[in-house]
Structure 1
Amino acid sequence: MQTFDMLQWPAFAASLAAAYWVGSNNLHRRKIGFWIFLASNFLWVAWGLHTQAWALITLQICLAVMNVRGLLKTDS
């Protein structure tokens, strides 16, 4: 299995962990969750470029924008 093929597993794990952390009532944990989501977006885009999964790449870019919005709203 190629190195880029393996990116899907940490991306998967990061997405699940981020969803857990974002659901926290604790402000600091929610912020961590959004940062983990952004890391997972990056990993999914890298994997999507390798596999030419253009819809996935577009989705992850849109989700990254929403995650930045969530991170900014968490600060306020």
Structure 2
Amino acid sequence: MVVTVASAWFIGSQRAYRRMIAFWGFIVSNGLWVIWGLHADAHALIMLECVLLGMNARGFRKNLHASESST
């Protein structure tokens, strides 16, 4: 949960490299939540985290392309 909250803090940054830190953090937190979901047998949580992982990967990719075009 701490990784998710820290990532949420960084995602609001105007600096692209901080947003990249946020997306990496979100991706790591998705993995951690899936591990916890497997342990707790929480299938809905696992599905949610898989969907969120896809959204975070999309945001990562868009931020990466935006930062490349601005430099």
The reply to whether TM is greater than 0.5 is: yes
How far is the alpha carbon of 1:21 from its aligned partner? Answer: 0.7
How far is the alpha carbon of 1:75 from its aligned partner? Answer: 1.2
Aligned length: 65
**Structure 2 gaps, min length 5:** 66-71
TM-score with structure 1 setting the length = 0.84
Structure 2 CA distance, aligned partners of 1:20 and 1:38? Answer: 15
How far is the alpha carbon of 1:51 from its aligned partner? Answer: 0.3
Deviation beyond 6 Å, 4+ runs, structure 1: none
Structure 2 CA distance, aligned partners of 1:20 and 1:63? Answer: 17
How far is the alpha carbon of 1:56 from its aligned partner? Answer: 0.4
Aligned to 2:13: 24
TM-score with structure 2 setting the length = 0.90
Q: Identify the match of residue 71 of structure 1 among 56, 60, 68.
A: 60
